[in-house]
Amino acid sequence: MSGSKKLPDIERLSKTVVRVLGQNPGPYTLQGKRRFISLLQCMSLLNCNTGTNTYLVGEHNPYILVDTGEGRELYPVLLRDALLDPTSTTHADQPHISDIILTHKHHDHTLGLPSVVSILRQLWEERHNSDGPPYQPPRIHKFPLHTPYAKLQTVVDMLKAMPGTYVPDPSGNVFHELSHGQTFPVTTSAADKSSSVLEVLHTPGHTADSICLYYPVEESLFTGDTILGHGSAIFEELGPYMGTLQKLVDFSDNGLKFGPVHPGHGPYVEEGYRQVKMYLQHRVAREQQILRRLETSPPTGHESWTTWALVSKIYAEFPRELWESAASSVDLHLRKLETEGRVECLGGDGKHTEWELAPGGD
């Protein structure tokens, strides 16, 4: 699908899924840190105007909210409109949102939390006068992160200054820790509610704390930034990311099938399983290209292959202005291969790092 396609600010995707855009358009809303931009993403996202996707899941309130955007002023206004949709059933004695699930740590998915919890309290107070039932704030869930992340800590500090707008965990922490396989019930009028759940899948790679959410009743997957609606995804570590892609392929091959993907950025992907396999095949093919090139003699005047020399050969048919981004991707592949004992680093720095095949490594 085209990255330049304008998505509606609010769109109902199914009976129980509504997408609300985070109002933070631009190519860098998909990328976190610039050094992790992939070549294909540079090419496909130059005209991106979608920003971060957030999702309301449920047939009626209380809903589950997946991600919160990055705190743009218009987002809580749109979220309010989505929650007050007159075509949806509303249970006045229940909160609008019971749980907020964050797919990972990045600011374009988490910085919206303070404004979200504020608007939820405001909506409750508008619905009930001072004699009404006490407010039921949401629980906020995230997979644990074992290394500090400053922008996330900023959000935590802001929320700690807003008592009563969220339910802390039993230890008083802002986030309730997610675990692989954990499930959340989704509101439904169906008699059989067993498949109306969101199941947490730990899918590291984009970040160490990245998760996907499997929705069996629709055989769909909420993927955060692990799988995008267009272009190729980006990652902090390639080894775990390729392991995640294989995990998702195996997940579907073992009978827990998923079709549609609801990504963290970009349009809905109807053939999500096919997209995952394409991502994996692309990474495996790139890895093989690098290994085959290392089997050949380095360029004239060089004793070994550098990252930049590999890029100049592998991406020779692409515009040169994209090579810097391609070098980041190639470097991540080489670091993965080094960890696996298949290549050796001979020294150097950045794109001038020198490499050779490890003895018996291929």
CA angle 231, 233, 234 (to 5 degrees): 130
> What's residue 272's pLDDT?
93
Looking up residue 338, the CATH number of its domain turns out to be 1.10.10.10
Clarify whether residues 122 and 76 are in a common domain: yes
**Which residues, listed in sequence order, are joined to residue 263 by a DSSP beta bridge?**
224
- Output the CA torsion sign for 200, 145, 152, 263: negative
Q: What pTM value is reported for the model?
A: 0.90
Looking up residue 29, the CATH number of its domain turns out to be 3.60.15.10
Clarify whether residues 210 and 265 are in a common domain: yes
Domain boundary among 254, 281, 308: 281
Clarify whether residues 215 and 347 are in a common domain: no
Domain boundary among 281, 309, 335: 281
- Output the CA torsion sign for 287, 288, 290, 294: positive
Task: Give the residue numbers spanning the domain of 111.
Answer: 10-281
- Contact (Cβ atoms closer than 8 angstroms) between residue 96 and residue 124: yes
Clarify whether residues 256 and 186 are in a common domain: yes
Residue position matching structure tokens 């374009």: 108
> What's residue 24's pLDDT?
85
Q: Is residue 112 part of a domain?
A: yes
Domain boundary among 281, 310, 342: 281
Clarify whether residues 273 and 337 are in a common domain: no
**The 97-101 sheet, strands edge to edge:** 10-12, 17-21, 53-57, 63-66, 97-101, 139-142, 175-177
Residue position matching structure tokens 């696996």: 340
Clarify whether residues 154 and 215 are in a common domain: yes
Clarify whether residues 17 and 120 are in a common domain: yes
> What's residue 119's pLDDT?
98
Q: Is residue 16 part of a domain?
A: yes
User: DSSP string of 295-317?
Assistant: TSPPPTT-SSEEHHHHHHHHTTT
Q: Is residue 290 part of a domain?
A: no
Clarify whether residues 223 and 309 are in a common domain: no
User: DSSP string of 87-117?
Assistant: TS---TTS-SEEEEE-SSS-HHHHTTHHHHH
Q: Is residue 234 part of a domain?
A: yes
Clarify whether residues 89 and 222 are in a common domain: yes
pLDDT in 10s for each residue of the chain, 362 residues: 444 568 999 999 999 999 999 998 765 444 333 333 444 444 344 334 558 999 999 999 999 999 999 999 999 999 999 999 988 888 999 999 999 999 999 999 999 999 999 999 999 999 997 778 899 999 999 999 999 999 999 999 999 999 999 999 999 999 999 999 999 999 998 878 888 999 999 999 999 999 999 999 999 999 999 999 987 788 899 999 999 999 999 987 776 788 999 999 999 999 999 999 999 999 999 999 999 999 999 999 899 999 999 999 999 999 999 999 899 999 999 999 999 999 999 999 999 999 999 997 66
Clarify whether residues 237 and 118 are in a common domain: yes
CA angle 171, 168, 263 (to 5 degrees): 120
Clarify whether residues 276 and 306 are in a common domain: no
Clarify whether residues 163 and 230 are in a common domain: yes
Q: Is residue 288 part of a domain?
A: no
Q: Are strands 175-177 and 139-142 parallel, antiparallel or unpaired?
A: parallel
- Can you tell me the distance from the alpha carbon of 32 to that of 36, in angstroms, rounded to the nearest whole number? 8
Instruction: Tally the domains of the chain.
Output: 2
